[in-house]
């Protein structure tokens, strides 16, 4: 099939283009837009244009009302959306003959919304999920095409989390597109299992050391790959008189670090960055 992409992230365009070619499909171009300020850190839209393989057209819409026209120009059989922060309107969803498929990093209908990875880490989930589903006019409610999960509890960094999500997407994409190409409508989501993963409240950016150590540890991890509006990105704290962003902690002292007393005992801070820097670009 001829496949178009909706994405704002350079790494997503590169990954899906390569994986689609491995699966025997042709990636024909990318439709993108600026999106909300701050959603993907400081990475400019030009980074996507520079990173996209040269055989792909990169079409930049000034508003979502232009998505349908730009998608039509690519003459795609289906579109795949991933790392894209804007609602795709109904007229654009109808352009490809097989519709638009979205990749969502959760086991839908659980953790619908813009911040599923952040909430999975905040909740202390043992596993991270991924779903390909048909897109409809609402967010993350369309019928299911492929789902899977990978371990999350042992992740030690943002790169660990992102790598597992990419691995899941690569494994599940073929199944999802096979079902699409066969005209399979997908499986209806069970609304009784639905939950929503919204943006964190601004107050959650600040560490409260009086909270239990486990909660602080989860808070630090939750900000690794959190989706944000423009505003503070946590986990922020003052340590030894310096304002920092806490990037990595442990609940034991096996790796050393700075010991900080929490409400129910100590936590060890292993990595920080200056508070003005982003802890990750995702």
- pLDDT at position 279 is 42
Q: What is the pLDDT of residue 188?
A: 98
pLDDT of residue 40: 59
Query: Which helix or strand (DSSP H or E) is residue 17 part of?
Result: helix 10-22
What integer pLDDT is reported at residue 132 of this predicted model? 98
Which DSSP symbol is given to 202? G
Per-block mean pLDDT, blocks of 10 residues, the chain (282 long)? 96 96 97 75 81 93 95 97 94 97 98 97 97 94 98 94 97 98 97 96 96 98 90 90 95 94 96 70 36
Best CA proximity match to 123, nearest among 229, 222, 246: 222
Q: Is 202-274 CATH 3.10.25.10?
A: yes
Cα separations (Å) of 36 from 6, 114, 229, 230, 252? 15, 12, 7, 8, 39
CATH 3.40.50.720 fits 2-193, yes or no: no
Q: What value, to the nearest 5°, has the Cα angle with vertex 63 and ends 57 and 65?
A: 95
Q: Both tokens of residue 5?
A: 């992409």
Buried b (16+ CB within 10 A) or exposed e, 84-97: bebebeeebbebbe
State residue 41's pLDDT score: 57
Cα separation, 26 vs 235, whole angstroms? 41
> Where do the structural domains in the chain lie, given as residue ranges?
2-193, 202-274
pLDDT of residue 228: 86
Of the candidates 80, 71, 108, the one whose C-alpha atom is nearest the C-alpha of residue 174 is 80
Interior CA angle at 56 toward 54 and 60, to 5°?
Answer: 110
């Amino acid at each position: 099939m001829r496949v178009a992409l909706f994405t704002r992230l350079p790494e997503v365009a590169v990954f899906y283009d390569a994986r689609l070619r491995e699966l025997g499909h042709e990636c024909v171009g990318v439709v993108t837009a600026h999106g909300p300020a701050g959603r993907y850190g400081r990475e400019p839209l030009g980074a996507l244009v520079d990173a996209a393989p040269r055989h792909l057209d990169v079409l930049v819409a000034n508003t979502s009302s232009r998505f349908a026209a730009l998608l039509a120009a690519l003459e795609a059989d289906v579109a795949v959306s991933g790392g894209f922060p804007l609602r795709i309107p109904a007229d654009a969803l109808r352009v490809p003959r097989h519709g638009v498929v979205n990749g969502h990093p959760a086991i839908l209908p659980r953790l619908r919304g813009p911040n599923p990875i952040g909430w999975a880490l905040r909740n202390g989930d043992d596993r991270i999920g991924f779903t390909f589903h048909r897109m409809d006019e609402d967010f993350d409610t369309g019928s299911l095409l492929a789902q899977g999960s990978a371990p999350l509890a042992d992740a030690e960094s943002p790169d660990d989390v992102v790598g597992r999500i990419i691995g899941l997407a690569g494994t599940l994409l073929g199944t999802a597109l096979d079902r699409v190409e066969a005209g399979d409508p997908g499986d209806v989501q069970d609304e009784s299992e639905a939950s929503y993963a919204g943006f964190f409240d601004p107050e959650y950016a600040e560490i409260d050391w009086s909270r239990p150590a486990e909660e602080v540890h989860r808070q630090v991890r939750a900000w690794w790959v959190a989706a944000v509006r423009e505003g503070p990105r946590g986990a922020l704290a003052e340590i030894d008189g310096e304002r920092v962003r806490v990037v990595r902690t442990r609940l034991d002292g096996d790796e050393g670090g700075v010991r900080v007393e929490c409400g129910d005992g100590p936590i060890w801070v292993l990595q920080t960055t200056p508070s003005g820097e982003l802890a990750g670009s995702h």
